[in-house]
Chain A
């Protein structure tokens, strides 16, 4: 296998900046990225396919009279950079003025965030990645044989470089490892199926055996699932479900949509949305964490932000554009998806403050309720209404886990669900060294079942 070649992304960006400087634009930025990824796909009886991917591209955002032109190219040849710059500039002059546009950020200084590159990951071969996948599968088999699989293992190494008309010049480099395995066991028509995952910057922080073992144990536990009566009951969310509850609100207080009053949480700034047991921090500067970086996607320094403090929304998450709409400052949450040119807004490392309960206590004191181990809170972002399935969960009766559930939906309004947050546990799950989600108990949720 060949390692990441030393491809120069600085010179092409500088070349584009030079061309754009002469194009009569008001603002522009140029971003180039180069990445290499190795993937082992798991399907059926085990390891199925190896994949390596080398990706390279350059994108331009150009502004003229508040109109935006965007262009990108996957070729960094001189003539293609010229075409891309020219196209973005032309589109900018055709586009109409966006009344909300206030410019792009000026350069700022930021402290380096350590530990975002693992040389071991950068040097991995597909054979070694395949070896890690094998460890996961062996660990599944050690719990119970005869699974059919779905999953994979991926490693990535990327470099990006941003330069703007305002003098921002920022380079970033990162590695990543992600692993997941989903075993399915069958016993006649009964299915025991689940999955487990982990991801991070370094190889050392991923325990492949643990992923496999837990996936198998969770899958076996899903045998014998039953339907549950419709009703209203407390629900306990384990970290893989509580994370989704938190992200659903963070999404609704991020960026352009919230700033333009288009989400259910647009009126929540400074308001108490949950009991004081809930506090949430977003910190893009945690050393070695998966969502960290010195700068955001526009070159604004990342920072630690108290988003929800004792139940009150302290700030929205902004990029430069969305902050401008509200006359606020960017909070360093610009997300540049790649070299495609568009910049959005989103959270980084999200950490829910631990409470003083425990999962065992939550279950023990529940007479009748649901323990949701895997469910996605996917509300209508505009109205806040939610109607979704408990993908994996258990019925709790008299303080004990009874049986797995199937065919069960929950419904409600996101802001009502937040008001019903009752307990937050001390313990929880840390992912990628940056995210932390505890178990969260809601007083009640509406169930649609039998």
Chain B
């Protein structure tokens, strides 16, 4: 009898067994030296049940049948032990059984390229940045290849398996002049093999990181106060992911932690704003099945200013009355699937960048994302950009560094007054939520927001 069947027999209303395996290789270059190489293998099983109206989850690295059965016992025992406590009832939508196997085949298998060759290539990419200027102090390039295999089996009869290769290269540069030090960064990553590395042109990649770091040495701190702000596709991507996207996660919505809870069908943004989360796009957040075995579909969230959807798991779909479209993923076997964004973006508008800028008398242009976060329950966000420019009479003038913006998400979305047509989704990274990291991507066209707080020391 399978572990899923044993779970059902023990009284579980729902039982899910998820096998996870991830093989990683990593090369790290610093100032012309490939000083370390590493590799790791994660593997294990996570078991999840609903029993007595509560979720129970248990995981183990040991993949033998007795060990998985112990995990099942732990999951069942755990759920039963909290069943009597007042709290959030576990319920899910019924699903039809799906049996499928997906293998994302890379064009160039990283296993067919020697470690020496990879190292040589990374050193070339790094050298281009290091030799860009005498003001470059330190250069770092890292290469990562990951092969992930996930098998999900559940009591609906679903058995899906997906094997995904991911490759990423990151370059960061520190520039220095006297006591002044600045940084520049560039990264690429996707569901891909070594072809991603072969396509890198150092002059458009590591040299760009060096150029940013060096030019920032002569930039000024930003003025502070409330300004008209124009964001580039990276800062727009950071905003749509952090400030808005997390609010659309169904678990935060039914958990009362989102500012768009109860706002379905209502106007939440300017007519110019449409937001999508789309795991079917071939970007870093791409997958075919989520970790509950649901097939991924594009999810519209805002359509021309109106809230039209949330991101769903089996549970949030049941609680909020939606349809699961594949948004539940887990970092590895040790975590239960939770609702995650995939490739999240503002849809393109119809303006040129010049048109977005031309009406701005005084404003701030933000470029390149550094980090962002949101308090979803209050809808207050912070986004830190890599650099910025003052906008005066529609022209970019003074170069600015260490620029961050803050605001209330719904106010900001209502104050979008221009959207360009140049959508770009190129922010491969990891998103953190509830202690879990997950592969995501984000993007946007150039956009204009009125009345945003810009922080700075001037």
Quick check: A46 and B88 within 8 Å, CB to CB? yes
Whether A411 lies near B36 (C-beta < 8 A) is no
Q: How many A-B contacts at CB < 8 Å in the complex?
A: 277
B55 touching A409 by the CB < 8 A rule?
A: no
- Contacts of B321 on A, CB cut-off 8 Å? none
A126 near B40: Cβ-Cβ < 8 Å:
no
Q: Does A6 contact B (CB under 8 A)?
A: no
Residues of B within 8 A of A184 (CB): 256-257, 377
For A146, give the chain B residue with the smallest CB separation. Answer: B256
A126 to B52, CA, bound (A): 15
Q: Are B38 and A409 in contact (CB under 8 A)?
A: no
In the complex, chain A residues whose CB is within 8 Å of the CB of B169: none
Contact assessment for A2 and B70 in the assembled complex, using a CB-CB cutoff below 8 Å: yes
For B, the interface residue count at a CB cutoff of 8 angstroms equals 85
Residues of A in contact, count (CB < 8 Å)? 88
B116 at the interface (CB under 8 A from A): yes
Q: How far is the CA of A279 from the CA of B13 in the complex (A)?
A: 58
Are A98 and B33 in touch, CB under 8 angstroms?
yes
Q: Is the CB of A410 within 8 A of B455?
A: yes
Q: Does A12 contact B (CB under 8 A)?
A: no
> What is the minimal beta-carbon distance from B330 to any residue of chain A, in angstroms?
11
- Asked whether any CB of chain A lies closer than 8 Å to the CB of B35, the reply is yes
**Contacting pair B407 A94 (CB below 8 A):** no
Interface contact A91-B455, CB-CB below 8 Å:
no
Residues of B within 8 A of A67 (CB): 34-36
Interface stretch of the complex, out of B72-80, B186-194, B416-424: B72-80
Which B70-102 residues have C-beta < 8 A from chain A? 70-71, 73-75, 77-79, 81-82, 85-90
| Cα distance A117–B216 in the bound complex, in angstroms | 50
How far is B240's CA from A152's CA once the two chains are assembled, in angstroms? 27
Say if the beta carbon of B384 comes within 8 Å of chain A: yes
| A156 at interface by CB-CB < 8 Å | no
- Residue contact B371 to A49, C-beta cutoff 8 Å: no
- Residues from chain A with a CB closer than 8 A to the CB of B456 are 387, 411, 446, 448
Taken together as a complex, chains A and B put the C-alpha atoms of A40 and B408 apart, in Å, by 31
Check A49–B402 contact: CB distance below 8 A.
no
Asked if B42 CB lies within 8 Å of chain A CBs, one says: yes
Name the A residues within 8 Å of B406 (CB-CB): 389, 407-409, 448
Known contacts: A67-B35, A133-B85, A260-B138. The answer to whether A411 contacts B57 by CB under 8 A is no
CB contacts (< 8 Å) of A264 on chain B: these are 181
* CB-nearest residue of chain B to A49: B55
Contact A95 B378 (CB under 8 A): no
List the A residue with the shortest CB-CB distance to B138.
Answer: A262
Q: Quick check: B181 and A262 within 8 Å, CB to CB?
A: yes
Are the CB atoms of A70 and B455 closer together than 8 Å? no
Given known A126-B81, A267-B179, A383-B181, contact A406–B54 (CB-CB < 8 A): no
- In the assembled complex, which residues on chain B have CB atoms less than 8 Å from the CB atom of A383? 180-183, 401-402
CA distance A342 to B401 in the complex (A): 32
Contact with A along B387-427 (1 / 0, CB 8 A): 00000000000000111101110000000000000000000
Check: A130 CB closer than 8 A to any chain B CB: yes
Q: How far apart sit A340 and B43, CA to CA, in the bound complex (Å)? A: 13
Nearest-Cβ distance from residue A330 to partner chain B, whole angstroms = 19
Does A385 sit at the interface, judged by CB under 8 A? yes
Interface residues, chain A, with chain B CB atoms under 8 Å away: 1-2, 38, 40-57, 59, 67-75, 80, 87, 91, 94-99, 101, 125-127, 130, 133-134, 137, 148-150, 182, 184, 186, 191, 193, 230, 260-262, 264, 267, 340-342, 378, 380, 382-383, 385-389, 391, 406-413, 446-450
Excluding A75-B43, A382-B174, 17 further A-B contacts by CB distance (< 8 Å) are: A1-B77, A43-B88, A49-B57, A50-B75, A50-B81, A51-B58, A70-B36, A72-B38, A74-B43, A91-B37, A184-B256, A383-B180, A406-B380, A407-B406, A409-B455, A448-B226, A449-B453
9 nearest A-B residue pairs (beta carbon): A148-B256, A409-B455, A50-B78, A46-B87, A70-B38, A47-B87, A127-B81, A448-B224, A385-B402
Between-chain CB contacts (< 8 Å), 10 pairs: A47-B87, A47-B88, A50-B57, A52-B58, A75-B41, A96-B34, A260-B138, A383-B182, A406-B378, A409-B454
